[in-house]
């Protein structure tokens, strides 16, 4: 595609060189640049993409987009823009011929529930015979083909290629998680969503957003922009049980569909019964009641089911297919996932890594406690330090025994992270050092928890869920909580 055509919808403040060049690809990673490529120098958090312009040119870049001026080398075209991230999204949309316009796209945003809701909707698509794609925290999926995800929402250039490939392979619908980072960093800029789903908002990611107001505003932008592209019949699916829902209702121009587990709404969910293996729900869609049996359990999953029911119904999927899709749904990887290896106590692995998600996890499992609650968890490094003591206090109040360990320390000292969490445990009071054990080695912490469990106890392993790599000081260690727990049961509890 010609460079000047790629730039037709991009705000430019200055150019130099031939803009009639043929561009064969787009990259924001200088190492992946090939001859004829357009390189976009995106400012990073650790490294500025401008530093890598010489490498991109050496690798054959025909043109460079940058926020900072630089000396042109050879016949390389230079485009200076006010926002490299916005430009990356704009040129990527153009290069891949705006794939979102050819697809029915449901985007899901919120602190918790995005992954599970996305999986439920994708299962509904399958039940309805719809060829669909899934983009999210755990994986990117097209039919039965799955690729492990690195980001909840990919960078804009990658995302546009993924959507283009899905459309070329026959997909008509896509469900995707939309993170607050992706909204702030313009990764989903240019995507025409048909439906946006709001799950909830609670304390998380304040290392990036700084305040809850800024965090919410990022989420809100998805709903403010609904219908601003080529699609006009857009829908906002909003959780009435969340305190921020009223603002979304006021700000969006899209058709509004509300859902709730405690109030009158367009879609309401009532738990009829549940245990740790199954749940029965009554879904009321504008007066029409449907009873659904699902392996997803607990109040927070009742909300996720209601969200999926509302979103799927809004794009014309029949109630029968929605019901079938929910009932055929299997457990989401690393979300309230039970580890069974013949033990006489329960082991559950969950992705809970925020105060609200940890609290909901404990509340969900609490009714089935027969012995002690044994909790294994930690907090990530280089991230939102304010939530660490909060999670420590929640753990203290909800668990009988705590094995305090690492999550992903990244570049922080694991012992200092543990100290921050420990301060919340101590402040909450009522627990002795004997009731919480500090073990920085996560594998060892899980094994110790399994060894300490007795009949009727519940071992909760929280924070990492489906993740398989742990980052410590730039090194990646293979560790899957589910495998470690299963191996520990087999080793110590025969």
Give the other-Cβ count within 10 Å of 249's Cβ.
15
The angle subtended at Cα 109 by Cα 464 and Cα 140, nearest 5°, is 60
Question: Could you confirm whether domain 99-327 is CATH 3.40.1190.10?
Answer: yes
The domain ranges of the chain are 3-92, 99-327, 337-492
Q: How much is the pLDDT for 432?
A: 67
Q: Give the span between the Cα atoms of 136 and 147, in whole angstroms.
A: 10
pLDDT per position in the chain (494 positions), as tens? Answer: 899 999 999 999 999 999 999 999 999 999 999 999 999 999 887 778 889 999 999 999 999 999 988 776 678 999 999 999 999 999 999 999 999 999 999 999 999 999 999 999 999 999 999 999 999 999 999 988 888 888 889 999 999 999 999 999 999 999 999 999 999 999 999 999 999 999 999 888 787 788 989 999 999 999 999 988 888 899 999 999 999 999 999 999 999 999 999 999 999 999 999 999 999 999 999 889 999 999 999 999 999 999 999 999 999 999 999 999 999 998 899 999 999 999 999 999 999 999 999 999 999 998 898 999 999 999 999 888 999 999 999 999 999 999 999 999 999 999 999 999 999 998 887 666 667 899 999 999 999 999 999 999 999 999 999 999 999 988 899 999 999 999 999 988 65
pTM, 2 dp: 0.94
pLDDT tens figures, 130-146: 999 999 999 999 988 88
Partnered with residue 288 across adjacent β-strands are 285
Distant-in-sequence, close-in-space partners of 136: CB < 8 Å, separation ≥ 6: 114, 115, 118, 119, 149, 152, 176, 177
Q: Report the Cα 95 to chain-centroid distance in Å.
A: 26
Domain pair 3-92 / 99-327, same fold: no
Q: How much is the pLDDT for 494?
A: 57
Three-class DSSP labels, the chain? CEHHHHHHHCCCCEEECCCCCECCEEECCHHHCCCCEEEECCECCCCEHHHHHHHHHHCCCCEEEECCCCCCCCCCEEEECCCHHHHHHHHHHHHCCCHHHHCEEEEEECCCCHHHHHHHHHHHHHHCCCCEEEECCCEEEECCEEEECCCCCCCHHHHHHHHHHHHHCCCCEEEEECCHHHHHCCCCCCCCCCEEEECCCCCCCHHHHCCHHHHHHHHHHHHHCCCCCCCCCCEEEEECCCCCHHHHHHHCCCEEEEEECCCCCCEEEEEEEECCCCEEEEEEECCEEEEEEECCCCHHHHHHHHHHHHHHHHCCCCHHHHHHHHHCCCCCCCCCEECCCCCCCEEEEECCCCHHHHHHHHHHHHHHCCCCEEEEECCCCCCCCCHHHHHHHHHHHHCCEEEECCCCCECCCHHHHHHHHHHHHHHHCCCCHHHEEECCCHHHHHHHHHHHCCCCCEEEEECCCCCCEEEECCEEEECCHHHHHHHHHHHHCC
Q: How distant, in Å, are the alpha carbons of 40, 161, 162, 257, 282 from that of 96?
A: 16, 7, 10, 32, 43
Residue 199 contacts residue 110 (beta carbons within 8 Å): yes
Q: Report the Cα 345 to chain-centroid distance in Å.
A: 30
Q: How much is the pLDDT for 434?
A: 67
Residue 347 contacts residue 450 (beta carbons within 8 Å): yes
pLDDT tens figures, 223-271: 999 988 888 899 999 999 999 999 999 999 999 999 999 999 999 999 9
Question: Could you confirm whether domain 337-492 is CATH 3.90.190.20?
Answer: yes
Determine the topology of domain 3-92 in CATH.
3.40.1390
Residue 143 contacts residue 131 (beta carbons within 8 Å): yes
Q: What is the overall mean pLDDT for the chain? A: 93
């Amino acid at each position: 595609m010609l460079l000047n055509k790629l730039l037709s919808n991009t705000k430019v403040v200055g150019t130099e060189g031939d803009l009639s060049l043929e561009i064969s690809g787009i990259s924001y990673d200088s190492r992946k640049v090939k001859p004829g490529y357009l390189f976009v120098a995106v400012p990073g958090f650790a490294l500025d993409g401008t530093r890598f312009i010489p490498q991109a040119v050496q690798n054959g870049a025909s043109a460079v987009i940058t926020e900072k001026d630089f000396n042109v080398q050879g016949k390389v075209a230079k485009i200076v823009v006010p926002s490299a991230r916005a430009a990356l999204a704009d040129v990527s949309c153009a290069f891949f011929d705006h794939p979102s316009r050819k697809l029915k796209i449901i985007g899901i945003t919120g602190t918790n529930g995005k992954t599970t809701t996305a999986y439920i909707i994708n299962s509904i698509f399958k039940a309805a015979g719809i060829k669909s794609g899934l983009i999210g925290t755990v994986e990117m999926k097209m039919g039965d083909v799955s690729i492990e995800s690195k980001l909840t929402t990919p960078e804009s250039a990658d995302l546009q290629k993924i959507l283009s490939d899905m459309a070329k392979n026959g997909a008509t619908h896509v469900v995707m998680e939309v993170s607050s980072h992706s909204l702030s960093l313009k990764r989903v800029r240019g995507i025409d969503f048909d439906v946006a789903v709001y799950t909830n908002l609670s304390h998380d990611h304040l290392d990036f957003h700084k305040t809850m107001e800024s965090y919410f505003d990022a989420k809100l932008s998805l709903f403010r922009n609904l219908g601003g592209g080529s699609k006009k019949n857009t829908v906002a699916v909003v959780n009435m049980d969340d305190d921020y829902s009223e603002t979304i209702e006021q700000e969006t121009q899209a058709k509004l569909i509300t859902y709730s587990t405690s109030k009158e709404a367009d879609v309401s969910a009532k738990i009829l019964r549940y245990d740790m293996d199954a749940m029965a729900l009554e879904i009321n869609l504008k007066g029409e009641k449907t009873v659904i049996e699902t392996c997803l359990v607990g109040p927070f999953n009742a909300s996720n089911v209601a969200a999926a029911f509302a979103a799927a119904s809004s794009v014309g999927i029949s109630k029968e297919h929605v019901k079938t899709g929910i009932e055929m749904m299997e457990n989401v990887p690393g979300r309230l996932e039970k580890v069974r290896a013949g033990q006489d106590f329960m082991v559950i692995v969950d992705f809970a890594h925020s105060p609200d998600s940890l609290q909901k996890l404990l509340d969900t499992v609490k009714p089935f406690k027969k012995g002690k609650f044994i909790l294994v968890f930690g907090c990530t490094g280089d991230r939102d330090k304010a939530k660490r003591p909060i999670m420590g206090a929640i753990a203290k109040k909800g668990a009988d025994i705590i094995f305090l360990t690492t999550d992903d320390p990244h570049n922080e000292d694991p012992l200092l992270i543990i100290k921050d969490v420990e301060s919340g445990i101590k402040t909450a009071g009522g627990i002795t050092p004997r009731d919480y054990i500090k073990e920085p080695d996560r594998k060892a912490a899980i094994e110790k928890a399994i060894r300490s469990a007795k009949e009727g106890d519940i071992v909760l392993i929280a924070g990492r869920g489906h993740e398989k790599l742990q980052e410590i000081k730039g090194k990646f260690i293979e560790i899957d909580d589910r495998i470690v727990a299963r191996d520990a049961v087999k080793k110590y509890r025969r």
